[in-house]
Structure 1
Amino acid sequence: MSKWQLALEQSQDLKVTHGTIAATAEAGRQGADLRLFLIACDYEETLYFQQTYAGQGDTFAGLMTHHHSYAHRGALAAQPYFSFFKYDTSGTFSQVKWMLDNQTLDESQRYQYRVYRWYVCHRWQVAYEHDADGNRVSGDLGALKEHIRAGHSIKVGVRQLFGVQNDDPSGPDHISFLDIMQPLIQDGHVGANCDFILSGAPQWPFTWRDGLAVGMVWPWSSGEMVCHLVEPGKLPFKRTTVRRAMQWLVADDS
């Protein structure tokens, strides 16, 4: 059974007290699951990230794509709302609140937690990889289909995801791994109905102030990805189709 391992610990002043940032980023590039334990002034919490970002060197981030929020500025909110978070090793988190009345608030800030503990879980293996045109790079598409038929856990890594709202793949090399709710087999290809995804500006470092799109996406092993994307507070969603290179991963505890 796969276990969560402490990959990186930072103190309140962001000094590394365990592990390395580079090794944690490498785990992210391999598709490892990511969590972050934090100690604040009056509570402790662990963040589960539905999406990860891994770039070159020591660049990585964890993204919460649809945090269900109930408190607002120290009090219970009259209505719940969605929050979109990005955490990295800089000590500053990005947060956009999207209220049910379509109002948005950017409440990104620098907050000195007492400790930052980054945990990784290595339970994924690449089953199939292809380029943006759907040409095989490694693995076996037929084997990936059999994993789906057997009910195994699947997730997908999309290269150059950030900037997809403008179909701009020109940013620094990166891969973003997305949770899947519903893997599909159709017309000879594998596809996926993913959980909500976030796409920021095609740059590193980035914050949501540089740009943010929330999306419902359907990546396919043909290289196509059908996207419905929206900037929070600016409905409706807009549909577009792009091409990206992808990795399809299977959990080794399936």
Structure 2
Amino acid sequence: MSNWNTVLELDSERRVTGGDPQALCDAVSRGGDLRIMTQFIYNEHIDPKSSDDSAVNEVSDFRVTYVIDGRWVAGIMNLRMPIANESDFGPRPSMSYFMYNQDGQQAIARLHLDGETPADHSVIAAEAFDSMPKNHIQAHLDADTNAPIVNFIWDFEVYRFIVCDNWEEVYAHTADGQTVRGSLQALREAFLEGREIKVGLRGICRDLAEPGTPAPDHEMFVHTGPGYDWVSQGLFSAGAQPTVRVRPTIPMVYASGGWDFGWLMPRTDGHVSRWLGNPYTLQFTKSEDRCDIRWFVR
């Protein structure tokens, strides 16, 4: 039996036709994984010059998720390279950091990895978007940089938000390591059984807020990879999968200078080591933070 269930569905005008936005928010807040199914017409989305008007179904994995102000969900594809069509990748090596909001509003940050000058950003060029009548650009920014971004709405035939809500929260603590729920021992035991681990990091993007404006309450959820039980120190830490940090807003959008990418290493005393990349220069900087953290296992 599948552990994946549709909790929210929107039509092409982004009206709710099934499920409930609150059910989506509740599931993601419990650590639930998010996939989104969309449907589009081939010659409306892939190749406007084609005579092929058949439907294409896409299901994508959003392994970085956000809950903003306890009531709004957005997800980011953190592992995707550009797909041109059924036969090939896109023209340049890059990351396709697509971001979807619970109301169907979308965005993409294109992080180029080839070190070339930003002379050709045809993957998300404004004229390419304009040639597709079901695409509605809200903002096209940083086009002449290594990391162009577009905020937009694509009128997919359907949006289906599917979650796997089978994570168990075993430990929650404050930014200074004070236990809120569960126990470090429960986390350790699950880790030694080989179970998967996921973290919820509260306030991890507050430094990306507009100057002079406090960031809204937010929590980022991301899977971890390697974990470490530091027995003599009484600590546990884990390396998170690659993540994308975005200025927390409702809805979530990309803004010039309002996002970055990289790796995080949370620890059970609230400490978070950060190794973050500047998307415009590809230069990396190490830094530290402290967060309220929740640890999930399955």
**Length-normalised TM-score, structure 2:** 0.78
Structure with more strand by fraction: 1
Question: Residue in 1 aligned with 2:64?
Answer: 51
Q: Which runs of 4+ in 1 moved over 6 A?
A: none
Q: Which amino acid aligns with 1:130?
A: H
CA deviation string 1:57-109 (max 9, x = no partner):
5300111113122439xx85444321112101333311011122342221332
CA deviation string 1:176-231 (max 9, x = no partner):
11111111112221111111111111333231125111021100011000001123
Q: Distance in 1 between matches of 2:196 and 2:249?
A: 31
Q: Distance in 2 between matches of 1:209 and 1:66?
A: 20
- The CA deviation at 1:139 is 0.3
Q: Distance in 1 between matches of 2:96 and 2:15?
A: 28
Q: Distance in 1 between matches of 2:250 and 2:159?
A: 21
Is it true that 1:95 corresponds to 2:138 in the alignment? no
CA deviation string 1:226-252 (max 9, x = no partner):
00112312221111101000000011x
Question: Residue in 2 aligned with 1:140?
Answer: 183
Q: Which amino acid aligns with 1:195?
A: Q
Is it true that 1:176 corresponds to 2:220 in the alignment? yes
Question: Residue in 2 aligned with 1:241?
Answer: 288
> How many residue pairs were aligned?
248
Is it true that 1:185 corresponds to 2:229 in the alignment? yes
Q: Which amino acid aligns with 1:162?
A: C
Q: Residue 66 of structure 1 aligns to a residue in which SS? A: coil
Q: How large is the Cα RMSD of the aligned pairs?
A: 2.1
- The CA deviation at 1:2 is 5.8
**Bigger Cα Rg:** 2
Is it true that 1:11 corresponds to 2:11 in the alignment? yes
Instruction: From 272, 281, 286, give the equivalent of 1:225.
Output: 272
Q: Distance in 2 between matches of 1:193 and 1:182?
A: 5
Q: Distance in 2 between matches of 1:90 and 1:19?
A: 13
Q: Residue 208 of structure 1 aligns to a residue in which SS? A: coil
**Residues 14 and 89 in structure 1, CA contact (< 8 A), matched pair in contact too:** no
**Length-normalised TM-score, structure 1:** 0.90
- Map 1:204-215 to 2 at 5 A: 204-209=250-255, 211-215=258-262
**Residues 95 and 108 in structure 1, CA contact (< 8 A), matched pair in contact too:** yes
> Compared with structure 1, are the counterparts of its residues 164 and 87 closer, same or farther at alpha carbon in structure 2 (3 Å cutoff)?
same
Question: Residue in 2 aligned with 1:124?
Answer: 167
Q: Distance in 2 between matches of 1:32 and 1:128?
A: 16
**Residues 8 and 20 in structure 1, CA contact (< 8 A), matched pair in contact too:** yes
Question: Residue in 1 aligned with 2:243?
Answer: 197
Q: Which moved more, 1:232-241 or 1:7-16?
A: 232-241
Q: Which amino acid aligns with 1:172?
A: P
Q: Which amino acid aligns with 2:150?
A: E
CA deviation string 1:24-75 (max 9, x = no partner):
1111111111110000122210011111111235300111113122439xx8
> Compared with structure 1, are the counterparts of its residues 78 and 119 closer, same or farther at alpha carbon in structure 2 (3 Å cutoff)?
closer
Q: Distance in 1 between matches of 2:100 and 2:175?
A: 28
Instruction: From 77, 81, 85, give the equivalent of 2:94.
Output: 81
> Compared with structure 1, are the counterparts of its residues 215 and 165 closer, same or farther at alpha carbon in structure 2 (3 Å cutoff)?
farther
**Residues 25 and 55 in structure 1, CA contact (< 8 A), matched pair in contact too:** no
Structure 1 unpaired stretches of 5+: none
Q: Percent identical across equivalent pairs?
A: 29
Q: Which moved more, 1:122-131 or 1:50-59?
A: 50-59
